[in-house]
Structure 1
Amino acid sequence: MNPAEAKEFEQFRGDLEAVERKIAGEIDPGARAMVVAGSVFVLLLSLVLPHAGGARGLDVLLYDAAAQAEHIGLPSRIFEWFVTVFGIGFSSLALVTRRWVLAWIAVAGSAIASVFGVLSIWHRQTPGLGNYQGAGPGVGLILATLAIIVLTFHWVKVVWSRTAVHLEAEEQRRRAAAEQEERDRRRLLGEDEP
Structure 2
Amino acid sequence: MFAMSRPADDGSEAYRSEIEAAERKVAGEIQPGARAMVVAILVFVLLVSLILPHTGGARGVDVLMGDNKALSVGIALPSRIFVWLALVFGVGFSMLALLTRRWVLAWLALAGSALSSAVGLLAVWSRQTAAHGHPGPGIGLLLGWFAVILLTFHWARVVWTRTAVQLAAEEQRRAASAKNQARTLLEDVDRREENS
Once the two structures are TM-superposed, the CA of residue 167 in structure 1 deviates from its matched residue by 5.0
Task: Please give the TM-score of this superposition, normalised by the length of structure 1.
Answer: 0.84
Q: 1: CA distance between counterparts of 2:64 and 2:96? A: 21
Give the aligned partner of residue 117 of structure 1.
120
Query: In the alignment, which residue of structure 2 is the partner of 1:192?
Result: none
The C-alpha deviation readout for 1:10-60, integer Å capped at 9, x for no partner, is: 221111111111111111100100110010000000010000000000000
Determine if contact 2:78/2:123 at 8 Å carries over to the other structure.
yes
Task: Please report how far the alpha carbon of residue 89 of structure 1 lies from its aligned counterpart in structure 2 after TM superposition.
Answer: 0.4
Q: What percent of counterpart residues are identical?
A: 60
Q: Cα offset for 1:163? A: 8.6
1:24 & 1:63 partners in 2: Cα distance? 42
1:21-100 paired onto structure 2 within 5 Å: 21-100=24-103
1:73-115: CA deviation from partner (whole Å, max 9, x where unpaired) = 0000000000110000000010011111111111111000001
What's the TM-score once normalised by structure 2's chain length?
0.83
> Could you tell me whether the CA contact under 8 Å between 2:130 and 2:136 is conserved in 1?
no
Does the C-alpha gap of structure 1 residues 102 and 164 become closer, same or farther in structure 2, counting only changes over 3 Å? Answer: farther
Q: Name 2:194's counterpart in structure 1.
A: none
**Between Structure 1 and Structure 2, which shows a larger proportion of helix residues?**
1
Unmatched runs of 5 consecutive residues or more in structure 2: 1-8, 192-196
Is the contact between residue 90 and residue 151 of structure 2 (CA under 8 Å) also seen in structure 1? yes
Q: Go from structure 1 to structure 2 and tell me whether the alpha carbon gap of 1:165 and 1:116 turns closer, same or farther (over 3 Å shift).
A: farther
Measured in 2, the distance between the counterparts of 1:146 and 1:165 equals 34
Q: How many matched pairs? A: 182
| Alignment pair present for 1:9 and 2:12 | yes
Q: CA RMSD in A?
A: 2.7
Output the amino acid matched with 1:114: S
Provide the C-alpha distance between the structure 2 equivalents of 1:64 and 1:162, rounded to a whole number of angstroms: 44
